[in-house]
Chain A
């Protein structure tokens, strides 16, 4: 047997090579007109994006901004769906809007495959991950997840006010994905930093973002080497041993897929759990109904996913084109707002209302088409168990101070501070 020395050296390219893409001037500050100058990084959007999206859907359904070097924001379900399905004209080479566009030759693999991959490579890279994330495979993690939720509530015993985002929601996906990847459970605080760097610090200079991203990949390399020396039954060892086209994966593919699983699995579900608890804390009728009818929780979480969908993805336009009435240029960003699509009255009855027993709910919270969230079964399990345990242990609760609730800015939105009064 040959020694696996793929990870002995640092596999990363030089900083110059990794910053060889295009950059643009960073523009921040108050938005003049959301139809022509939108920015999902401004506080007004983070606090409440829905009135903005509803207004745009009515008067300018494919909004534009010169910020980020040029970007589009479709708010109709039909447009969001069309872009999600059209991988010929919209690339996933980068999926977080920033002021830097990676070089074209990064496609079709991207930095964090398969979310950053285009066909045909995407299909093969995705198939490597799918078996680990089926509903059946995920069910094996449910008992530990439930025990973790109970332990977190035990830790809040005796307190009148607790932060449901920081002290509950955050820890659930963090610990579960750490366990699946085989990372030390006490590393959670590091993960929170990695997530913030990847998703919230998009207006920093590219050099600084790269340095921050390097800290994540430094961490992953340590974990990979530890698993090469000491293989275990977890996703890290699985990816180290996985083969594609008859060969083991490129080291950058192993680390990139791990980065994706770590980052994408944490603040998304943390946001969904937090937003659901926020809704129940301010809506006693829904809270009392779910306490009385726990069997309704799976239906209710679909509605929370629809109306508070945490994730907005992005695409890059491949070539100049006239698309549904607007002139898109090559390398324009497109914000793929699943939250806006999910509130389109042309697609959903009572689109702006929260209807926890909604019977027909074709929401797009996990995306549409070939990039459907690979962790959707995991996210649904975590969200359901988190709500079931909370409602069982803390059936009576309310917002302590609605003005103290803060929301993450950018493409993943959910409560980051959520003070809740218990009892």
Chain B
């Protein structure tokens, strides 16, 4: 599974880097960024799902496969 963040939708609420700090970071203006290649280690799948489910702007997708 891989996380994907749509910068066109992100408004910097920061729910993703609050809930999944190993998968998402913030840029200098507070907008979310995907850390590294976005591939979700199995032990972080729950964090990834919570980040996607709590983004008020629906900016985060989880895509199956590497």
Task: Give me the interface of A with B, judged by CB distance under 8 Å.
Answer: 127, 130-131, 133-136, 298, 302, 359-364, 366, 368-370, 372, 376-377
Contacts and interface: CB of A to CB of B under 8 A. Distances in A.
B14 A362 contact: no
Contacts of A131: 28-30
B28 A361 contact: no
B31 to A, nearest CB: 8
Interface residue tally on B, bucketed by range: 10 to 19
Given A359-B50, A368-B11, A369-B11, A377 B56 contact: no
A359 B50 CA distance: 7
Interface string B2-37: 000000000111100110000000101110000000
Q: Is the interface of A mostly helix, strand, loop or mixed?
A: helix
A368 B9 CA distance: 10
B45 interface: no
A84 B54 CA distance: 18
B62 interface: no
Nearest to A136: B26
A368 B53 CA distance: 16
B56 A376 contact: no
A136 B25 CA distance: 10
Contacts of A360: 50, 53-54
A361 B13 CA distance: 13
18 contacts: A130-B12, A130-B28, A133-B30, A134-B29, A134-B30, A135-B17, A135-B18, A135-B26, A135-B30, A360-B53, A362-B54, A363-B56, A368-B56, A372-B11, A372-B13, A376-B13, A377-B14, A377-B30
B12 to A, nearest CB: 6
A130 B29 contact: yes
Interface of B: 11-14, 17-18, 26, 28-30, 50, 53-58
A360 B51 CA distance: 9
A361 B29 CA distance: 24
Contacts of A134: 26, 28-30
A371 to B, nearest CB: 9
A133 B14 CA distance: 11
A135 B16 CA distance: 12
Nearest to A134: B30
A377 B31 CA distance: 12
A372 B53 contact: no
B50 A130 contact: no
Nearest to A371: B11
A135 B29 CA distance: 9
Given A135-B14, A135-B17, A377-B14, A362 B29 contact: no
Contact of A362 (B11, B26, B28, B55): B55
Contact of B18 (A130, A136, A298, A366): A298
B53 A366 contact: no
Nearest to A364: B56
A370 B11 contact: yes
A400 B47 CA distance: 40
Given A130-B12, A135-B17, A377-B14, A362 B30 contact: no
Contacts of A366: 13, 56
A368 B55 CA distance: 11
Contacts of B17: 135
A84 B21 CA distance: 28
Contacts of A372: 11-13
A302 B14 CA distance: 12
Contact of A376 (B14, B29, B53, B58): B14
B13 A127 contact: no
Given A372-B13, A377-B14, 19 more contacts: A130-B12, A130-B28, A130-B30, A134-B26, A134-B29, A135-B17, A135-B30, A298-B18, A360-B53, A362-B53, A362-B54, A362-B58, A363-B56, A366-B56, A368-B11, A368-B57, A369-B57, A370-B11, A376-B13
